[in-house]
Structures are given as structure tokens and as C-alpha cells.
Amino acid sequence: MNSENFKSGFATVIGRPNVGKSTLINSLIGQKVVIMSDKPQTTRNKIMCVLTLEDAQILFIDTPGIHKPKHKLGEYMVQAAQSTLQEVDVVIYVVDVTESFGKGEEYILEHLKKIKSPVILAINKIDRVAKEKLLSAIADYSRLYDFAAIVPISATQNINTTELVAEIKKYLEPGPKYFPDDMITDQPERLVVAEMIREKILHVTEEEIPHSIAVDIEEMATRNNQDVYIRAIVYVERDSQKGIVIGAQGKLLKQIGSSARKDIERLLGSKIFLDLWVKVKKDWRNREGVLKSFGYE
């Protein structure tokens, strides 16, 4: 590596909920770091993911979807997303080409007009639409904002993701390698593990349950010099929700644990024993002290 030609910098990924931001980052990193779900507002924290290339290191910041908040957790999530816009070298604005342009897009574009960072538009899910619709979307967005570049992509199919990285690198300055080659996120393992468990709950629950869930890792320790013991508490807001998450004869909780264990073992590279419990913490999304204890600060 020629250090004189090496570039590094920060790129934030923004967009409405459920447009594929987390899927895109996992695709670029080449490993599952941030959780994915078809439920909107899956991502709650700013999560930094590290992509190290021969000639550059890009620090991607995955943000919660920008939306109109309905509770203190929602306010925190939107603030977390918006605060990154002023702090980065380049903004990647992800839109879903299968969805029609709406007030959410208008809201984000108004915010983008207030920042100085270059903005790259990533038009996602192009594998699901005809070419005419894609060309129409490119023309429409071009009229609304002066983007540094527009890159049509499919995060799930890895279409044009290399081209997107090439565009991002154009806006990075020569700089150091901030993190070691094998590091893929700045998040502590406990937080990533908690998020992996929460993802599995999102996949198997409906209605208000997904948004009422928080996961806290109470204990994470190596036992017998090989297995990792993890005690995780799943918090819900009401007693009725607790019954739903546990399921008849505890079947749903067992399914959640079994599914989460596979992802966590891949992450940690060792066998784990996952001890899952469900507890009620009433109205936790509107309690500042509880939000801070869960890492939403």
C-alpha cells in the first residue's frame, strides 16, 4: 500500500425507513453487521461499519430511517440520523425505486439542501422494475437536487455496488487507516449480539410488537475455555406482548433463540449458549432513563 495515495473518510447512509440502507451496508462490507427486516425503523442507533480496500478505508455510518417521530425513541432515532449529515465527507441517499415519491422524500431533500457535503443518490431495488421506470426516477430526482452522482443499484443482488464505492472514493481525502484490516464495526460485541436477537423477533412478530422490543445483554462470558454463555433479556411494554413473544409452550422464544444463535456463532466464531428471558418494562420508549440504559443516548 502506498500511504501517499491512500484515502479514508466517512460516508453516512440515509433514507426513509425500509429502503434498504442496512442491506446495502452489509453488502458493501461483505458480512452481516447491521440487522435487516421488512419492518420499518429497524435500525435504531448510528452504527459505523468499516470497509477496508487496498487504496482506501471507508467508514460507513448506518442511520435510522428519517421519519416523523411518535415517541422519545423515535425522536432519538431521527436526531441520530440528521446529526450525521454535517459530520461526513459524503452522504449516500438511498431511495426505493419501487416506491412512489412522497412527503418523506420531500422532507429529506429539504434537509439535504442545508448541508455542504456532496450527496450521492443510490436508487435501490432496480432488479424489481422495468428500465423505463428507472430512467423516469433518475430524471425526476435530477430535477429536484444537484447530486454529486446518481448510481442505480440492487443491494440484495450486488448490482453496481462496486460503481457506488468508486463514486464514494472520489470524495475522500488522502488520509490514514483508522482501523485494522479485520475490523468491520466500532460497535461492542454485546450491542451487535443484542441487535441480532432483536432482528429475529422482528421476523416472527407482527402489529405493535416489533417496535415495542428492546434487548439487553446482561451477561456474556466464556465458559469452559470454549463456549460463550449469553444471558439476554427481551423487554416489551405490556404483559400481553410478553405472552406473544414467548408463544405457546415457549415455542416462539425457542425459535427466536435457535435462529439468533446461528448468526451470533458466525459473528463470534465459537459455540454459544443463549439464555433468553422476556420481561415487561412499561412504556419504555417514552422513558429517558430507560432509553439511556439501553444505549439510546
Looking at residue 44, its pLDDT comes to 44
What domains appear along the chain, each with residue ranges and CATH number? 7-174 (3.40.50.300), 189-293 (3.30.300.20)
| CA-based nearest residue to 160, from 84, 86, 87, 97 | 97
Give the count of beta carbons closer than 10 Å to the beta carbon of residue 118: 17
- Its sign, for the CA torsion 201, 203, 208, 210, is positive
Global pTM value:
0.66
Sign of CA dihedral 222, 180, 194, 200: negative
* The pLDDT value given to residue 270: 85
Whole-angstrom Cα distance, residue 205 to residue 297? Answer: 26
213 contacts 233 by C-beta, under 8 angstroms: no
Strand partners, 173: 8
C-beta separation of 47 from 94 below 8 A: no
User: What distance in Å separates the CA atoms of residue 45 and residue 257, rounded to the nearest whole number?
Assistant: 23
Tens place of pLDDT per residue across the chain (297 aa): 456 789 999 998 888 878 888 889 889 988 666 544 443 444 445 567 889 999 999 999 876 555 455 556 556 555 655 666 777 899 999 999 999 998 889 988 988 888 889 999 999 999 999 999 999 999 999 999 999 999 999 999 999 999 999 999 999 999 999 888 888 876 677 888 888 898 899 888 876 676 788 898 889 888 776 788 999 999 999 999 999 999 999 999 999 999 999 988 887 888 999 999 999 998 888 877 776 776 665
Pair 190, 217: CB distance under 8 Å: yes
Per-residue pLDDT at 38: 45
Q: What's the CA gap between 133 and 156, in Å, rounded? A: 19
Q: How far apart are CA 101 and CA 116, in angstroms?
A: 24
Residues in the chain: 297
Predicted local confidence at residue 78, as pLDDT: 57
